[in-house]
């Protein structure tokens, strides 16, 4: 049995190459991720850092650990997905081989175990290849996280032998987890499949695939309706995150049905041309091939574009909300003295603060305000207490800390500059989308320094140099978007690499079944260039369909945001990102299709 498994890997190494690469990438990322997680769990901070700076560094370590954990989970999931796709496709191609083994007496368990051993060997090879990648990935991730500002420049991830062994275990386990469904299908092959092509070979949509596809589709429709009915931004965001997953699963499972249906649309434009007609026939009739190529693109576009649009919309909603909460006309970056034409000038100075409540300590920023001017330029009012009482040794809890359990009338110990005093909580502000304002203090408590901006309300007909409130509010949203963009750029790059491996893997595997088709085309009078062109146009059509269906998933996820209280004003559609994915997919898939078709047509006619 081991000899048969090794022989299968050796004779079909080109078809298994994509799965090996996926496992190797997964092992490398798991190894580097575990090493860096160990380093961020117990950070070594240099002496001489202030308490506020130490808190900032620790907060960056927490963000880095979150990103690393997400990348490890994503790498494992995508590795299982690619291995599952590879062996699922391979099982269909090898039905005759499995039927012959059944014909000579092999039992179902023998076939199942043979495929599992192949996957184990593939996982072992991928793990060995992935270990050197882990060293490179550790350096690359450290550099990236330092550039993103999550980790300090002195960060180092020392070698951890336990991370290496854990990564190898994950690599083999990933391969075994991905092959289970394919091994079961291989064990169901009958001896009759050795001599005749049965209906099982032609059937792409199995009962379980119908069940999971329709269930996910039904759940997605229900969630979209619920998001529309809720008319709440936060509810729309949360539901949208689930819709991305359920919608991607639904269209991926139903791709053998929906891809040919949607594939009729782009081919109508170029109908009547020989190459276009043959490509159209390939998309419509070779549904297994089309679905295998489109499914990774559906998942990529649905998740990445949906996530980027969701958090971009959240950042945009921050700006819209701030614009509606501010009654001032101009914002300047310095203090403004009262004068003609100035109705109110609310100076807001941010300074570091340490707040101790019981055994917990928070390192943050406090904003020194004049309560009368603040209330003249802001619509936001406390949900408990009153800002009129913010005088002397008092403090107000800002929107960023509104849900942290602070109680009205409680006494907190704070450190402002070199002063350590006790202050009383006199107001608790309501929660808002902008969580940058955590504490408010009277201006009399401000230490020296800090950064000041002033919101100025002008009399009619008066002008002043500075940012308009619209520009200022938009900038607040952009700051939040920039803090998220690095995180999602890293995850998007990781997902893009695995998707490229998946689609190239699907193209390479499907080409193995098309040598006879290409040879017959040559014998019918087509040139080698025309055969390659058919493969490229067919692949480009599948890319268009995959991106369209993925965009449909992303649109469904963003529908709840558009129905929220801020409407289309808070909706951010990442057109540039969608265009980048589409162009990249066309290049990657088109190049893979051209190269594999060119190589498949390199044989002489009559040797197919």
Residue 269's pLDDT is: 61
pLDDT of 161 reads 85
Beta-strand pair 360-369/439-442: parallel
In this prediction, residue 267 carries a pLDDT of 57
pLDDT at 220: 92
Strands 419-428 and 394-397 come out as: parallel
Judged by DSSP in three states, 367 sits in strand
- The tokens describing 382, both together, are 């406390």
pLDDT of residue 202: 54
**Ramachandran sector of residue 528 (left: φ over 0; alpha: ψ -120 to 50; beta: rest):** alpha
Closest CA to 365 of 56, 45, 62, 57: 56
pLDDT of residue 480: 67
Q: How many CB atoms lie within 10 A of CB 367?
A: 24
CA–CA separation, 36 and 54 (whole Å): 19
- Long-range interactions of 559-562: CB distance < 8 A, separation 24+: 559/224, 559/227, 559/228, 559/236, 559/240, 560/224, 560/227, 560/228, 560/230, 560/235, 560/236, 560/237, 560/239, 560/240, 560/243, 561/233, 561/236, 561/237, 561/240, 561/310, 561/313, 561/317
What's the CA dihedral at 517, 518, 522, 526 to 10 degrees?
100
Residues of the chain with pLDDT under 50: 199-201, 608
| Run of H or E residues at 453 | strand 451-458
Q: Strand, helix or coil at 273?
A: coil
Closest CA to 32 of 126, 141, 146: 141
CA–CA dist 572, 587 (Å, integer):
27
């Amino acid at each position: 049995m081991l000899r048969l498994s090794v022989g299968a890997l050796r004779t079909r190494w080109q078809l298994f190459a994509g799965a090996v690469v996926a496992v190797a990438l997964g092992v490398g990322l798991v190894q580097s991720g575990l090493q860096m997680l160990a380093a961020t769990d117990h950070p070594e901070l240099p002496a001489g850092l202030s308490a506020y700076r130490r808190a900032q560094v620790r907060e960056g370590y927490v963000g880095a650990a979150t990103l690393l954990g997400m990348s490890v989970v994503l790498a494992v999931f995508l590795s299982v997905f690619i291995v599952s796709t590879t062996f699922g496709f391979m099982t269909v191609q090898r039905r005759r081989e499995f039927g012959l083994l059944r014909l000579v007496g092999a039992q179902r368990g023998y076939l199942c175990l043979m495929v599992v051993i192949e996957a184990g060997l593939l996982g072992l090879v991928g793990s060995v290849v992935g270990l050197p990648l882990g060293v490179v990935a550790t350096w690359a991730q450290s550099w990236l996280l330092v550039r993103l500002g999550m980790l300090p420049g002195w960060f180092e991830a020392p070698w951890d032998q336990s991370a290496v062994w854990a990564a190898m275990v994950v690599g083999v386990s990933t391969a075994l987890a991905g092959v289970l469904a394919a091994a079961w299908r291989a064990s169901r092959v009958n001896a009759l499949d050795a001599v005749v092509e049965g209906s099982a070979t032609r059937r792409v949509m199995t009962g379980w695939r119908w069940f999971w596809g329709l269930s996910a589709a039904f759940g997605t429709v229900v969630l979209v309706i619920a998001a529309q009915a809720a008319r709440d931004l936060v509810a729309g965001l949360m539901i949208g995150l689930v819709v991305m997953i359920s919608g991607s699963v639904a269209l991926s499972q139903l791709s053998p049905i929906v891809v040919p249906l949607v594939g009729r649309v782009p081919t109508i434009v170029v109908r009547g041309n020989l190459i276009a007609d043959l490509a159209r026939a390939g998309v419509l009739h070779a549904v297994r091939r089309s679905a295998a190529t489109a499914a990774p693109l559906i998942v990529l576009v649905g998740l990445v574009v949906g996530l980027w649009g969701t958090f971009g919309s959240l950042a945009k909603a921050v700006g819209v909300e701030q614009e509606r909460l501010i009654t001032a006309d101009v914002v300047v970056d310095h203090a403004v003295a009262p004068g003609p034409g100035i109705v109110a000038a609310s100076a807001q100075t941010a300074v570091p603060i340490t707040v101790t409540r019981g055994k917990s300590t928070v390192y943050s920023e406090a904003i020194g305000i004049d309560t009368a001017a603040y209330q003249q330029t802001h619509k936001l009012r406390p949900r408990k207490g009153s800002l009129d009482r913010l005088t002397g040794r008092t403090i107000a809890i800002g929107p960023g800390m509104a849900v942290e359990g602070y109680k009205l009338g409680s006494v907190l110990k704070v450190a402002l500059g070199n002063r350590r005093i006790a202050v009383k909580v006199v107001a608790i502000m309501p929660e808002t989308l902008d969580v940058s304002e955590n504490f408010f203090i009277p201006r009399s408590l401000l230490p020296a320094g800090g950064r000041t901006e002033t919101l100025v309300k002008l009399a009619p007909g008066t002008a002043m140099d500075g940012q308009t409130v619209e520009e200022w509010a938009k900038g607040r949203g952009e700051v939040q978007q920039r803090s998220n963009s690095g995180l999602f750029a890293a995850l998007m790059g990781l997902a893009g690499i695995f998707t490229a491996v998946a689609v190239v893997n699907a193209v390479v595997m499907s080409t193995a079944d098309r040598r006879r088709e290409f040879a017959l085309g040559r014998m019918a009078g087509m040139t080698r260039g025309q055969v390659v062109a058919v493969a490229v146009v067919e692949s480009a059509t599948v890319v268009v369909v995959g991106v369209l269906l993925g965009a449909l998933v992303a649109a469904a996820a963003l529908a709840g945001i558009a129905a929220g209280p801020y409407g289309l004003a808070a909706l951010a559609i990442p057109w540039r990102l969608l265009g980048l994915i589409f162009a990249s997919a066309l290049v990657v898939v088109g190049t893979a299709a051209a190269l594999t078709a060119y190589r498949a047509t390199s044989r002489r006619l009559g040797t197919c």
